[in-house]
Each structure stands twice: as structure tokens, then as C-alpha cells.
């Protein structure tokens, strides 16, 4: 027994160890499971499917990781995982934007800013070794994966393509020297029985003036052959948006396989020109947030969801996924065509509420769609950045 002196107490940082993971399935599963442990008691968290999370982290299964460098880390304290983070360098995106940037992704951690600091430092050190000079995030690993930190709207249920995080995330990131890059906003509104008459007038005029017509498909099977053309239109329409990296053919094929098996054709609105080329589209789906909470990340629980009558999604809330218009016709009233048709289908199906997904606060054209509809901007998500010397 020691007398007359005391041993130095270990500081808080020394108790936290950052461990780099391999790409093995065991390590990927360890990385994914932390998210489920952290949010297991949160009533507003919408769990992703574990199988999808594992696949997204596997470069052999996720074509979006082609030309990317990916590294995973977890934070350990006393043998327990207390945080996780991924670092990504997308060489193709860097070349397109002419930058040397790394991204931090999938950042989750217990309510301890020191855990966040050490995780972000691990990515920054890694990025500096790769001669990067900018760190941005949080992003999804690839296009259309969940990204950005929720900074407002912590009492709201997210859509299935969005995400939820605890309120302490944003302040912890900011305390590490990161500043706001851009925000995404999300809206909710009660579906009006009628839209402003101008939508009908503009839609009618645009269809006639530009020799356009609407195309309806009765099933996901009928839509599937149009999948590549649909996503190529998205590539073209979103090409000048912040941080949008055009999807490769491999990414497009993977998205078709992932989404076109359950897409609801009632809420896929296609506008084609005289040559039958798709020039505008809108995609919405009944909210699946309740279904995903029932599944708890595992498809084997699908029977329970079936018993609860939740396989077709919400009966009162429609999630608006995207609207895209070819750049050549961006100001020709095609948004009005899509809005008018989507509204009619939503009313006919008996929906009461509409939720949008993230829209750039700088995208005035999309934000203007809601100016004639009484709505609440009820969520805000943020992308951060930090420049550093390599």
C-alpha cells in the first residue's frame, strides 16, 4: 500500500482510445451496431436496415465507393464503444470540383465532446497524410445516403431517407473548429384540398406550349426500364447543386435495384417531350418511418409489420423525395405540372400531410414551390467544414 504520495489520476482523454477498423464484415458490423446501441431508447430514431448499412460500407458491394478511399474508426472507453466515424476521400468528386477535400461521415457519439474531438482529429490526421487541406461533413458515403447534422427539429420524426441525431452533435462539432458550410431545410404542410389555380393554368400552358405530355405507369415493373433515364435526368438537373456528384452507371443500377422494387407508381410523375424524352419528374412515397421503426433494422421482423398493416406505409403522410427538371426547361413551368399532378394523386389517395426531404437553403427555385402553400419549416440540417494545413 502506498503512503505519503498519490498516483496521478488519468486524464479524461487518456481513457478514450481511437481504433481504426478494417473492412472485414466483423468490423463493419461492429461499426453499425454502435448506432443501434446509442439510439435504442430514442422514440424518434428511424433505424436503417442493418443489411443495407453493411453493404454501403463494403466497396465490393457499393459502386459509389469506386474511386474513393474509406476508413472507419471507433472510440473506446473502458472496453466499451462510445463513438464512431468514417473518413472518405472521393477522388472523382475532388477532380470535378478541383479541390483536395476529405469528408467525415457517419459520425455518432455519446454525449461527450471529447469523444467527438478525438474522432474528428483521427479523420483530420488521416486526411492530412493524404495531402487533403479541407474536411467537410457529415456527408453520406455516396449520393442519396443520409447526410448533414440535425440542428433544429429534434421533436420531429424523420423521413426514411433522412436521419435523426441528438441535440449535442452540432455544438460538439463546432467546438472542434468547424463552421457552417450550408443548411438543408425540410417542410411539413397539411395537404390543401385545392392548389392555387395558377398551378393548373401554368401546367396547362406549359404542356401545350412545349408540346409535352404526362406519362403514367401502373407498376414498378413498368417503371424499371426507365430507371436509367430517370437518374440521368437527376444527374443533369442537380449538376450545379452544392456537393452533388453525378452518379455513375454502376451507382444508378444499384439505386434501381434498391428502390424500384417497392416504388409506388401513383406518386411517380413523368413529363416527356415530343421525342418521348423525360424532361421532368417528381417522386414521392407514403411515409415508411413507422414501418422502419417496427423492423428495428431487421427484415425478419417483416411479419410483425404485416400484422400491423404497415407494409404499405403511412395512410396520412406522404414524403416528397425529389423534383427534377432538365436544365433546358428549368423556367418553363414544368414544376407546376409535377406539383399539380402530385397533388391530385395525394388527395385521391386520402393523404392529409406532406413532408419534404432536405432542400438546400440556397436553392431558391425549389423553395419557391412552397410560397403559395401554408407550411412549417420544421427541420434544419447542417454541413460543416474546416480548412487545415496538411
Residue 370 counted as domain residue: no
Residue 254 counted as domain residue: yes
Degrees, nearest 5: CA angle 61-149-234: 55
Residue-level pLDDT at 10: 47
Residue-level pLDDT at 239: 87
Residue 359 counted as domain residue: no
Residue 4 counted as domain residue: no
Boundary residue ending a domain (186, 221, 254): 186
Does residue 148 come out as left (phi exceeding 0), alpha (psi in the -120 to 50 range) or beta?
left
Whether residues 207 and 180 share a domain: the answer is no
Running along the chain, 390 residues long, what does each successive block of 10 average in pLDDT?
38 78 94 97 95 94 93 96 97 92 97 97 96 95 90 95 95 97 95 90 93 93 94 93 88 90 91 95 93 86 58 84 93 92 95 94 86 92 88
Tally of CB atoms within 10 A around 263? 19
Q: Where are the beta strands (DSSP E) in 22-130?
A: 68-77, 80-90, 101-109
Residue 379 counted as domain residue: no
C-alpha 122, offset from chain centre = 24
Whether residues 151 and 63 share a domain: the answer is yes
CATH assignment of the domain containing 117: 3.40.630.30
Domain residues for the domain of 278 are 192-351
Tally of CB atoms within 10 A around 361? 16
Whether residues 128 and 92 share a domain: the answer is yes
pTM tops 0.75, yes or no: yes
CATH assignment of the domain containing 245: 3.40.630
Residue-level pLDDT at 294: 87
Distances (CA, A) of 247 to 53, 122, 241: 19, 29, 13
Residue-level pLDDT at 253: 94
Residue 289 counted as domain residue: yes
Whether residues 17 and 166 share a domain: the answer is yes
Whether residues 302 and 158 share a domain: the answer is no
Whether residues 45 and 105 share a domain: the answer is yes
Whether residues 275 and 304 share a domain: the answer is yes
Which residue's C-alpha cell is 478514450?
16
Cβ contact 270:322 at 8 Å: no
Nearest Cα to Cα of residue 282 among 222, 239, 344: 344
Distances (CA, A) of 44 to 163, 167, 199, 218, 283: 10, 12, 35, 34, 24
Residue-level pLDDT at 143: 82
Number of domains in the chain: 2
Residue 288 counted as domain residue: yes
Amino acid at each position: 500500500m502506498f503512503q505519503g504520495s498519490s498516483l496521478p489520476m488519468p486524464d479524461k482523454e487518456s481513457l478514450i482510445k481511437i481504433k481504426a477498423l478494417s473492412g472485414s464484415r466483423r468490423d463493419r458490423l461492429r461499426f453499425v451496431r454502435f448506432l443501434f446501441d446509442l439510439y435504442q431508447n430514442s422514440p424518434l430514431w428511424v433505424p436503417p436496415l442493418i443489411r443495407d448499412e453493411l453493404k454501403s460500407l463494403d466497396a465490393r458491394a457499393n459502386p459509389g465507393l469506386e474511386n474513393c478511399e474509406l476508413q472507419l474508426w471507433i472510440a473506446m472507453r473502458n472496453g466499451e464503444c462510445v463513438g464512431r466515424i468514417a473518413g472518405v476521400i472521393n477522388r472523382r468528386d475532388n477532380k470535378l470540383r478541383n479541390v483536395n477535400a476529405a469528408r467525415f461521415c457517419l459520425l455518432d457519439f455519446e454525449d461527450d465532446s471529447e469523444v467527438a474531438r478525438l474522432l474528428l482529429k483521427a479523420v483530420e490526421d488521416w486526411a492530412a497524410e493524404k495531402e487533403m487541406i479541407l474536411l467537410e461533413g457529415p456527408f453520406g458515403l455516396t449520393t442519396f445516403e443520409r447526410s448533414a447534422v440535425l440542428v433544429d427539429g429534434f421533436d420531429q420524426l424523420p423521413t426514411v431517407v433522412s436521419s435523426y441525431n441528438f441535440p449535442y452533435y452540432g455544438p460538439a462539432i463546432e467546438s472542434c473548429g468547424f463552421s457552417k458550410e450550408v443548411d438543408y431545410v425540410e417542410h411539413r404542410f397539411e395537404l390543401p384540398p385545392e392548389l392555387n389555380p395558377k398551378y393548373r393554368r401554368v401546367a396547362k400552358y406549359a404542356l401545350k406550349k412545349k408540346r409535352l405530355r404526362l406519362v403514367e405507369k401502373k407498376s414498378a415493373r413498368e417503371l424499371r426500364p426507365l430507371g436509367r433515364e430517370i437518374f440521368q435526368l437527376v444527374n443533369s438537373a442537380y449538376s450545379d447543386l452544392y456537393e452533388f456528384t453525378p452518379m455513375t452507371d454502376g451507382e444508378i443500377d444499384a439505386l434501381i435495384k434498391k428502390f424500384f422494387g417497392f416504388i409506388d407508381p401513383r406518386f411517380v410523375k413523368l413529363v416527356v417531350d415530343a421525342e418521348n424524352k423525360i424532361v421532368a419528374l417528381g417522386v414521392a412515397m407514403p411515409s415508411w418511418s413507422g414501418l422502419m421503426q417496427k423492423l428495428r433494422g431487421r427484415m425478419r421482423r417483416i411479419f410483425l409489420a404485416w400484422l400491423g398493416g404497415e407494409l404499405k406505409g403511412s395512410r396520412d403522410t406522404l414524403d416528397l423525395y425529389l423534383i427534377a427538371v432538365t436544365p433546358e426547361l428549368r423556367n418553363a413551368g414544368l414544376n407546376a405540372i409535377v406539383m399539380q399532378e402530385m397533388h391530385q394523386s395525394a388527395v385521391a389517395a386520402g393523404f392529409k400531410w406532406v413532408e419534404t426531404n432536405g432542400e438546400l437553403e440556397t436553392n431558391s427555385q425549389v423553395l419557391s414551390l412552397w410560397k403559395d402553400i401554408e407550411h412549417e419549416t420544421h427541420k434544419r440540417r447542417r454541413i460543416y467544414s474546416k480548412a487545415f494545413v496538411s
